Amino acid sequence: MKRRLAKIHHLIEQHGPVILKGRFDRGYCPVCRRSTLFLRKGEWLRDFYFCLWCESIPRQRALLEVLDEQYLDWPSFKIYECAPAGASSWAIQTRCKKYTSSHYWEDVKPGDSKNGTRCEDLEALTFADDSFDIVITQDVFEHVLRAERGFAEIARVLRPGGAHVFTVPIYPHDKTLLRAKPSDNGIQHIESPDYHGNPVDPNGSLVVREWSRDIVDFIAKHSPLKTTIYSGKDYKHGIDGEFLDVVVSRKSSEQ
């Protein structure tokens, strides 16, 4: 009871002004699985529309909603998540007993650990073939320099019938915009460099691609996975704002 009261006191201190201004919506959060208030703390809802209790944001709630709808028994699966961050990663790790995660550091050998966290390079994973039922990435693949290798590697480590469930910003471009590519001299910038936040690197992560819906064809070209994009808003679950697509790439059960 004392911990709950302390949590409520903290929430009032943190979000009281927003609640008093009426900038909230009532609903149910797929991440913390409880009735809640969704707080509008900025106009860019993708990053500033929070669950009162777990502080998840819309894309995280969208991922958990799709995961629950498509894989009801996912907590019993063997799951690997690359670059976990935020409330959704906490929820997946908490509910899944066979959960593995990793981050990437240039100065750490893939497969080794840093501060107790495994290091993995999505372009060359150290896991054995057919290791996982589900692989999860959240806003990662816009930063993967050789995305074709990343998708192929995920397909390799997925078990037959497994799936890569992920979020990535999907733009209304006619085709994917390549912003940077590898070269003999390092990275060649085609567009002005743009960086997003990185949970383990204060310098952020370079945006390599602005994906369009042709990501489905890209994945099919470079892996045996068949891909579906789940789009749409769900106001009761606090799924509102920009770039809410959840992508599911499935590996055939016959492979």
Which domains occur in the chain, in start order? Answer: 2-57 (no CATH), 60-250 (3.40.50.150)
Distance CA(102)–CA(80), nearest Å, equals: 8
Percent of the chain's residues with pLDDT above 70 = 91
Question: Which residues, other chains included, contact 9 with Cβ-Cβ below 8 Å and sequence gap of 6+?
Answer: none
Closest CA to 69 of 249, 248, 251: 248
pLDDT at 186: 87
Tens-digit pLDDT profile for residues 62-111: 999 999 999 999 999 999 999 999 999 999 999 999 999 999 999 999 99
